[in-house]
Amino acid sequence: MRQPLFIIFFILFSSLKINAQVSGKFYSIKRVSDGDTVVIQDESDNQYKIRFIGIDAPESRNVGNRKQVQVFGSEAKTHLKKLLFNKKIRLEFDVQKIDRYGRTLAYVYLENGVFLNQYLLAKGYARIATFPPNIKYVEDFRKSEEKARRNKLGMWMYY
């Protein structure tokens, strides 16, 4: 009798944990900051900066002495803007939810189910950038980037 109760408890706990990690809400895009960062707005007009987990797009603007404009940065930002025009996104979280700059870290999905983090890698608009503990999709990301490199897609046409 104890084992069936344990199994039921485990299933309930697992589903609660999964639901806490995935937002079922869709958010409007306020603006695209870069090829891997957007600002969303919730129903209360609160704004949040969302940094896509597992990827790094080339810089599209200078940020002090820290970051300089990079080759293909403008193209990556423009492509993301086009993808997100009049669209909403859903967020999925990993272990760490906020980075040291106060940005929310997330895997990002369009309403039609397109997984944007992986899509940007697959099309050559970003490179893999893994920062443990957020490594849920690292193998999928690695394969997507390798394929884009092999096919000289996006920024990989320059390398």
Active-site positions read: 51, 59, 103
Residue located via tokens 């869709």: 26
Nearest to 124, CA basis, from 154, 93, 150, 159: 154
| Exposure letters 82-93 (e unless 16+ CB within 10 A, then b) | ebbeeeebbbbb
Per the CB < 8 A criterion, the answer to whether 148 and 123 are in contact is yes
Per the CB < 8 A criterion, the answer to whether 106 and 53 are in contact is yes
State how far the Cα of 21 lies from the Cα of 147, in Å rounded to an integer: 29
Kindly state the tokens that stand for 137.
Answer: 């999709």
Kindly state the tokens that stand for 26.
Answer: 């869709």
